[in-house]
Structure 1
Amino acid sequence: MKTWWNGLGAEDRLKYRKYSIAAGFLALLLFVYYASGQDEKEPVKEVETTDLSLGADLLEDDIRAKVDKDLKHVGETLAEMERRQRQYDSLLAALETSQNDLKRQGQGEETGKEEMVNPLSDFEAPEAGGEVSYPEPPTYVPSYSASESSLNDIPVEARIVGGIGRAPGADFQPETVSKKKNSIYMPPSHMPAILLTGIRALTSELGDANPEPVMLRVQAPAVLPNSVKANLKGCFVIANATANLAQERVNLQLVSLSCMSLDGTAVIDQPVQGFVADSDGVRGLTGPVVSKMGAHVMRMIVAGLFEGAGNGIAGAAATTSTSALGTTQIVDTDSIVQSAGGQALKSGSEAVQKLFLDLAKQTVPIIEVGAAKRLTVVIQKGTDLSIMEKG
């Protein structure tokens, strides 16, 4: 063995050493495992099972409990009904007692009346042993039944009352079946148009109160939502125009839309709501602002100068004195003509100045828009366009 070991090379010796160490390590592990007793299998513990039986009496007990509960509820209901019946009986007895009391009171009142009226109170009692004279009995008056029987014996002539006549009624008129209204719905849309009439809109409040009516003509089919088009080419649109000086634009509010078929048998004349946009896409039409009030203002200034001159001439002809009592103007007799001329010039200038002021107020700026202007009509609220057919 030693000779064999010595005959091995260095590498073979290293391999055998490694194998020997590994085998020894495995043998050591096996020895420890068996020595610890882990190779013995533990007996499997039996699981104790307990039978859960519902029992044959559980269903019966449940039914009995349900029946007892229902019987208890029925008993409570009957007790409540008996209590209410007792209340009703007591109320009925009280009512009967009250009714009997009222009857007794009525009988007592009748008895008292009989006692108060004594038919023998007017007669005096006869003396003992004297004769008693009685009044004669009243004659017999036949009752109503006897007279009624005698009245029935009187013959009565039979007479016919009333008659049968004929009253003509109203003629039957069948219900007229209303024709189905022919209309189309016009949703919010826009359409190109052209201005047929020029505009000169006032920029004052007077222009807002009295808008300028204008007419437009639709140049192409209207564009509806979802790229749908309606053939309104050639239709006329009426609008009201008002000017806005701050924006320098004329705003148009749509009034009506009028169309007619080519054969002239169908007409559309319907109020619409909308506005007009210019070629720049902004609401309103642009136009130059024209003002002609400059000349009137200049004339008003000249009249004011003459007024001041007349006031100065009149003041130069008078002497003004100021005292504790106030201010006093004294006109010299030699300057009366000068004072009168100054006052006349002042008064006339004031009247002329007021006239030119009124003219300047009336000559407010206007915004002009020429005809044949291209624009876009916008329908802002959908409406039903009724089609009127000619007979």
Structure 2
Amino acid sequence: MKDKIKHRWSSLSPSQKGKLILFLAVVAFFICTIPLYISKEAKTKKEPAEKKETQVFDFGKGNFLEEHWVVKATQDLEKQKKTISELEDRIAELQKQLSEKTFQPSQPPLLQQEKKEKQSQKEKLPAPPSYPLPPARITQPAKPEKLPDYIVVVSAQKFITQKQEKQTEQQQAPEISYGYVPSGSFVRGVLLTGVDAPTGNIGKTSPYPVLIRLMDLSFLPNRVHFDIKDCFVTGEAYGELSTERANIRTDMLSCITHDRQIIDTPIQGYVVDIDGKVGLAGHPVTKQGALIARSLIAGFLQGIGDAFRTSAMIVSVSPLGTTSQVMPETNEILRAGIGGGISKAAEELAKFYMDLARQMFPVIEIGSNRPLHVVFLKGIELKFKKRLEGDAYAFNVY
């Protein structure tokens, strides 16, 4: 038998041998696994496994996160309710204990003796039937209702300030507009007050005030006129040495209408001279030259005094340094004293004149009643601020 198998095996080709080996391996695998499978089925039939309930969350339906949050919130709420109920029971028990205890104030001896006699008499009497005490009633403060989402809680201070602002706004009368003057408009006027406009940095930082009276209707764009005649304009003037002109910046415009309405509003503009140039031409005036000349004279006198003083002195040079001594003659001593006095006085006088010269600055002198034009840089709305009340005001006096 073995020889036949060997002969049969040797007669097979290599491919046939591989197929045969694979077939035998598959058969052996099935032979080994089939008994194991059969035994496993028998065990599962004899001992059925206990089914465990598992909670399946369907993520496709509804909002899983929201449902989970609701469950968690419900559990927390139940815990809080349980805690509150325990606290309520504890409070009721404490109140019951307090109600049973009575406060006994100190009394004088006679009252205590009378009280003891009454108690002894009461003890002799039969005790009244005892009735159960009613349960202690717990009064809890009402819980504040939850405000809806559209109500916003603000601070009391903010509410008071807003209320005050509203009251002030209601008390103020509504402003009525008299008209609007656009930018670029101009009007003819006259300078009522003369001015010595300061120059330099002092003039720009501290300009001098001026007053202008408007003499005609204002000229608006497109040949339109607006009535602001006889109104007053205040301004600030400062000088320019390079052009010898006083530049004026407008500040306020004030008017009173025929029905006693007051207009008082700030404006932005400038003043033009009758020659069409910005600023009013004037005469530059300075007094520094005279002071400087006086300081030069004082310096000259100081030099003469020093010369007199040094001529009456002897200068000697030694290894220790240079020393100067006044000659012993009487005339030389007198000359040295006069020269020193003149030199010191002239020095102080020169300093005084130089300090005055520093304090003074040149100005541009402008006289009153100068014709001019006021140009508005920005448009302004003229509103009534107040109405004149009373008989103290006189109209059309001049």
Instruction: Please report the TM-score for the alignment, with normalisation by the length of structure 1.
Output: 0.54
Partner of 1:68: none
In the TM superposition, residue 158 of structure 1 has moved relative to its aligned partner by 7.4
Q: Which amino acid aligns with 2:255?
A: C
Aligned-partner SS, 1:364: coil
Q: Tell me whether 1:379 sits opposite 2:376 in the alignment.
A: yes
Query: Residue 192 of structure 1: which of 188, 192, 207 is its match?
Result: 188
Out of 220-229 and 204-213, give the one that drifted further.
204-213
Query: Residue 276 of structure 2: which of 281, 298, 318 is its match?
Result: 281
Query: Residue 257 of structure 1: which of 232, 253, 256 is its match?
Result: 253
Q: How does 1:339-354 map to 2 (within 5 A)?
A: 339-354=336-351
In the TM superposition, residue 300 of structure 1 has moved relative to its aligned partner by 1.6
In the TM superposition, residue 154 of structure 1 has moved relative to its aligned partner by 4.4
> Which ranges in structure 2 are unaligned for 5 or more consecutive residues?
1-57, 65-92, 101-130, 141-163, 390-398
Q: Tell me whether 1:320 sits opposite 2:315 in the alignment.
A: yes
Aligned-partner SS, 1:258: strand
> Which ranges in structure 1 are unaligned for 5 or more consecutive residues?
1-81, 89-143, 163-172
Partner of 1:290: 285
**What is the alpha-carbon distance in structure 1 between the residues aligned to residue 221 and residue 319 of structure 2?**
87
**What is the alpha-carbon distance in structure 1 between the residues aligned to residue 171 and residue 334 of structure 2?**
94
Identity %: 35
Partner of 2:48: none
In the TM superposition, residue 224 of structure 1 has moved relative to its aligned partner by 1.3
The Cα offsets for residues 180-199 of structure 1, whole Å up to 9 and x where unpaired, read as 43123321111111111111
Q: Tell me whether 1:216 sits opposite 2:212 in the alignment.
A: yes
**What is the alpha-carbon distance in structure 1 between the residues aligned to residue 239 and residue 367 of structure 2?**
14
Aligned-partner SS, 2:292: helix
Partner of 2:71: none
Aligned-partner SS, 1:333: coil
Q: Tell me whether 1:231 sits opposite 2:227 in the alignment.
A: yes
In the TM superposition, residue 318 of structure 1 has moved relative to its aligned partner by 1.4
Q: Which amino acid aligns with 1:373?
A: R
In the TM superposition, residue 342 of structure 1 has moved relative to its aligned partner by 1.5
**What is the alpha-carbon distance in structure 1 between the residues aligned to residue 267 and residue 340 of structure 2?**
62
Q: Tell me whether 1:240 sits opposite 2:273 in the alignment.
A: no
Partner of 2:6: none
Aligned-partner SS, 2:238: strand
The Cα offsets for residues 100-136 of structure 1, whole Å up to 9 and x where unpaired, read as xxxxxxxxxxxxxxxxxxxxxxxxxxxxxxxxxxxxx
Partner of 2:300: 305
Aligned residues: 238
In the TM superposition, residue 200 of structure 1 has moved relative to its aligned partner by 1.0
Q: Which amino acid aligns with 1:155?
A: L
Query: Residue 325 of structure 2: which of 314, 324, 330 is its match?
Result: 330
**What is the alpha-carbon distance in structure 2 between the residues aligned to residue 338 and residue 389 of structure 1?**
80
The structure whose Rg is larger is 1
In the TM superposition, residue 324 of structure 1 has moved relative to its aligned partner by 4.6
In the TM superposition, residue 243 of structure 1 has moved relative to its aligned partner by 0.7
The Cα offsets for residues 210-268 of structure 1, whole Å up to 9 and x where unpaired, read as 211110011111111222211011110000010111111000010100111124x2111
Aligned-partner SS, 1:255: strand
In the TM superposition, residue 353 of structure 1 has moved relative to its aligned partner by 1.0
The Cα offsets for residues 263-299 of structure 1, whole Å up to 9 and x where unpaired, read as 4x21111011111011111111001112233332222
Q: Which amino acid aligns with 2:290?
A: A
Partner of 1:362: 359
**What is the alpha-carbon distance in structure 2 between the residues aligned to residue 204 and residue 177 of structure 1?**
47
Measured at CA, do residues 321 and 154 of structure 1 come closer, stay the same or move farther in structure 2, by a change above 3 Å? Answer: farther
**What is the alpha-carbon distance in structure 2 between the residues aligned to residue 313 and residue 387 of structure 1?**
78
Aligned-partner SS, 1:371: coil
**What is the alpha-carbon distance in structure 2 between the residues aligned to residue 289 and residue 177 of structure 1?**
53
**What is the alpha-carbon distance in structure 2 between the residues aligned to residue 190 and residue 232 of structure 1?**
11
**What is the alpha-carbon distance in structure 2 between the residues aligned to residue 313 and residue 324 of structure 1?**
27
Aligned-partner SS, 2:275: coil
Measured at CA, do residues 389 and 360 of structure 1 come closer, stay the same or move farther in structure 2, by a change above 3 Å? Answer: closer
The Cα offsets for residues 28-56 of structure 1, whole Å up to 9 and x where unpaired, read as xxxxxxxxxxxxxxxxxxxxxxxxxxxxx
Instruction: Please report the TM-score for the alignment, with normalisation by the length of structure 2.
Output: 0.53
In the TM superposition, residue 354 of structure 1 has moved relative to its aligned partner by 1.1
Measured at CA, do residues 179 and 295 of structure 1 come closer, stay the same or move farther in structure 2, by a change above 3 Å? Answer: closer
**What is the alpha-carbon distance in structure 1 between the residues aligned to residue 306 and residue 244 of structure 2?**
42
The Cα offsets for residues 72-126 of structure 1, whole Å up to 9 and x where unpaired, read as xxxxxxxxxx9x9xxx9xxxxxxxxxxxxxxxxxxxxxxxxxxxxxxxxxxxxxx
Q: Which amino acid aligns with 1:182?
A: I
Query: Residue 176 of structure 2: which of 170, 182, 187 is its match?
Result: 182
**What is the alpha-carbon distance in structure 2 between the residues aligned to residue 221 and residue 201 of structure 1?**
28
Measured at CA, do residues 179 and 207 of structure 1 come closer, stay the same or move farther in structure 2, by a change above 3 Å? Answer: closer
